Amino acid sequence: MSTYLTETRYPLELAPAMPDVWELWQRAKTLEWDPEMDIPWEELHPERYPEEHIMAARLHWSRRTWGEYGAISESPALLLRFCLENRLPDLRFFFTMRTQEEGRHAEASWLMAERLGGYFPQPQNPPTVSAVGTHGVRRMAFDPDTSLEGIFASLVCAAEEILIDAFKATVHKASNPAVHRLMELILRDEVRHIAFGWQCLDAWAPSFTPETVQNIERAVTQMIQNVEFNGYRNLWLAIEGGSATPVEIDADRVACEAGLGGTTPEDEMRIVPQFIKKIRARMEPWGVKLPLFDHPKLGKV
């Protein structure tokens, strides 16, 4: 463990070393947006929706805020890991911007919930609290038994991939102009985040050891089983519903059908299996073999 506490900053090399990642960093600097100014809030018109739709949308965007806040706390932990391992400067520069962008997503999601009638500052039921807890990255980031490659594969790639898959599949359903624009802006940022993760892992893949491959398999499997299937993104997917209320469980579906964001169970039945198939094929050239997952609502995927 002492290796992770040793200062190895110098010599401080800051020249670009990964051209694709450096390009993502440069692009991020030109695509900043302001949640207060760049979303057409005047077109939100919450007064035009029935209370059921507004409540569902408030729950949906509050949940999104909690999830984005988790990324705000986790990103600096990974940034410290980059520094402790003296990783290339490109990673540190880009991840600094990623942290800022996740903060922007949290602010924008909070504003959406507030302007729809009020943000919920915390979950009300224990299963919901568990489902929207962080991915555990702050703990993993300083665990010498968890490789950085495993963290990248599970958090920076797989967890982000399912998010953008859901956004891509449903952004056209967001008929409210303010919600539609917010989803477009978040999606634009997240596409860069996922590109960063895959580019790094592709660059590192030739040096993967059997232990690294096993670490990736374990981390991605845990992310799917313990995070995605636990209802982190959508409570409908939670294998155990616990005491979550029907309003909470149905929030994504009701909000989606109202054009205010979210997904329906029918969307999830299509999105999640396609996502697992995609990342399974994407990681296979590295020697990574993900297991077959068994979900009571999705079946074997």
> Mean of the pLDDT values across residues 169-173?
96
Q: Where are the alpha helices (DSSP H) in the chain?
A: 19-30, 51-84, 89-115, 126-131, 137-141, 148-151, 160-170, 177-204, 210-222, 246-257, 265-283
Give the pLDDT confidence score for residue 1 in this predicted structure: 42
Q: What whole-number distance in Å separates Cα of residue 147 and Cα of residue 252?
A: 34
Supply the mean pLDDT for the chain. 89
Give the pLDDT confidence score for residue 266 in this predicted structure: 96
Give the pLDDT confidence score for residue 243 in this predicted structure: 59
Give the pLDDT confidence score for residue 128 in this predicted structure: 59
Rg (C-alpha) for the chain, rounded Å, is: 19
Using N-to-C axis directions, what is the helix angle for 265-283 and 160-170, rounded to 10°? Answer: 140
More confident residue, 6 or 200: 200
**pLDDT tens for each residue of 154-167:** 988 998 999 999 99
Give percent of the chain above pLDDT 90.
61
Give the pLDDT confidence score for residue 130 in this predicted structure: 61
**pLDDT tens for each residue of 239-291:** 765 556 788 889 999 999 999 999 999 999 999 999 999 999 999 999 999 99
Give the pLDDT confidence score for residue 241 in this predicted structure: 55
> Mean of the pLDDT values across residues 120-146?
69
| Domains by residue range for the chain, with CATH | 48-287 (1.20.1260.10)
CA distances 13 to 4, 85, 197, Å, are: 19, 13, 22
pLDDT at 296 over 70: yes
CA distances 65 to 60, 108, 117, 161, Å, are: 9, 8, 15, 18
* CA angle in degrees (0–180, nearest 5) for 244-248-251: 155
Q: What is the DSSP letter of 144?
A: T
> Mean of the pLDDT values across residues 82-95?
86
Q: What whole-number distance in Å separates Cα of residue 263 and Cα of residue 85?
A: 39
Question: Cβ–Cβ contacts within 10 Å for residue 243, how many?
Answer: 10
Give the pLDDT confidence score for residue 183 in this predicted structure: 97
Residue partners of 243: CB distance under 8 A and separation at least 6 = 125, 126, 127
Helix (H, G, I), strand (E, B) or coil at 300: strand
pTM of the model: 0.90
Tell me the sheet residues that pair with 299: 295
pLDDT at 42 over 80: yes
Give the pLDDT confidence score for residue 5 in this predicted structure: 53
Residue 2 binned pLDDT confidence (cut-offs 50, 70, 90): very low
Give the pLDDT confidence score for residue 215 in this predicted structure: 93
pLDDT at 65 over 90: yes
More confident residue, 177 or 148: 177
